[in-house]
Chain A
Amino acid sequence: GESVGLHLPTLSVQEGDNSIINCAYSNSASDYFIWYKQESGKGPQFIIDIRSNMDKRQGQRVTVLLNKTVKHLSLQIAATQPGDSAVYFCAEGEGGGADGLTFGKGTHLIIQP
């Protein structure tokens, strides 16, 4: 069936380096993509989203890239900080996210001092 998945379950980076978390999706009808950060014991926290009519969107220290040709989504975090340690989920939705989202399994980002 159609699903959202992540390439790497764990990513370890040095503090201050840039992090790139990747995600593949297969539902061609999805038009809304979103990245969430989840810390232990907490609910998912919105980071950034992008609609299918865009291929790049930037926020504070984060950039999301969307490649619809190969159905690939990535999250770039600049100058990674200890507070960025968490599990990151990509999610996809149809109808601009007005209905339920489909989440991937998550990537655990570990920051090395």
Chain B
Amino acid sequence: GAGVSQSPRYKVAKRGQDVALRCDPISGHVSLFWYQQALGQGPEFLTYFQNEAQLDKSGLPSDRFFAERPEGSVSTLKIQRTQQEDSAVYLCASSSGLAGGQETQYFGPGTRLLVL
């Protein structure tokens, strides 16, 4: 499809387990963003890539959270030793990243993570 895709759509993990969430951005989009959305809240920024470079990771809540985009397209958000407070929807967005252009961020459907 033409949009942002994410997998898995749902993930149930036991506390302490590691998880990996995948994001496929819109083809050709330079910028990629990860957000965390708690139930009943707005999305909160986690981290941002321009191509393979991670330019901002100020929103990552702890060092258990790690994101990568090694080839400048697909990105993976990894959470180590998951805790119950990590339960949320993890959203990925991409934008064209064209200098001086409109930087609309287009979102994927999200991965709903439940940590038991």
Asked if B103 and A43 sit within 8 Å, CB to CB, the answer is no
Chain B min CB distance to A27 (Å): 13
A32 interface residue (CB < 8 Å to B): yes
A2 interface residue (CB < 8 Å to B): no
In the complex with contacts A42-B109, A43-B107, A44-B43, A100-B56 CB distance below 8 A: yes
Asked if A49 and B108 sit within 8 Å, CB to CB, the answer is no
Which B residues touch A46, using CB under 8 A?
104-107
Which B residues touch A102, using CB under 8 A?
45
Which residues from 43 to 95 on chain A have a C-beta closer than 8 Å to any C-beta of chain B?
43-46, 49, 89, 91, 93, 95
Asked if A44 and B48 sit within 8 Å, CB to CB, the answer is no
Question: Could you say which interface size class chain A belongs to?
Answer: 20 to 34
How many A-B residue pairs lie within 8 Å, measured between CB atoms? Answer: 67
Which residues from 1 to 39 on chain A have a C-beta closer than 8 Å to any C-beta of chain B?
32, 34, 36
In the complex with contacts A43-B109, A100-B33, A105-B41 CB distance below 8 A: yes
In the complex with contacts A44-B91, A49-B104, A105-B41, A100-B48 CB distance below 8 A: yes
Asked if B91 and A100 sit within 8 Å, CB to CB, the answer is no
In the complex with contacts A100-B48, A100-B56, A100-B59, A49-B102 CB distance below 8 A: yes
Which A residues touch B1, using CB under 8 A?
none
Which residues from 31 to 89 on chain B have a C-beta closer than 8 Å to any C-beta of chain A?
31, 33, 35, 40-48, 55-56, 59
Which B residues touch A42, using CB under 8 A?
109-110
Q: How far is it, in angstroms, between the C-alpha of A42 and the C-alpha of B112 when the chains are bound?
A: 10
Asked if B107 and A97 sit within 8 Å, CB to CB, the answer is no
From the candidates A89, A98, A106, name the one contacting B103 in the complex (CB within 8 A). A98
Q: How far is it, in angstroms, between the C-alpha of A97 and the C-alpha of B48 when the chains are bound?
A: 12
Which residues from 93 to 113 on chain A have a C-beta closer than 8 Å to any C-beta of chain B?
93, 95-106
Q: Can you name 23 A-B pairs with beta carbons within 8 Å?
A: A36-B107, A43-B93, A44-B91, A44-B107, A46-B105, A49-B102, A89-B42, A91-B42, A96-B103, A97-B102, A97-B104, A98-B97, A98-B103, A100-B33, A100-B45, A100-B59, A101-B43, A101-B45, A103-B35, A103-B42, A104-B42, A105-B42, A106-B40
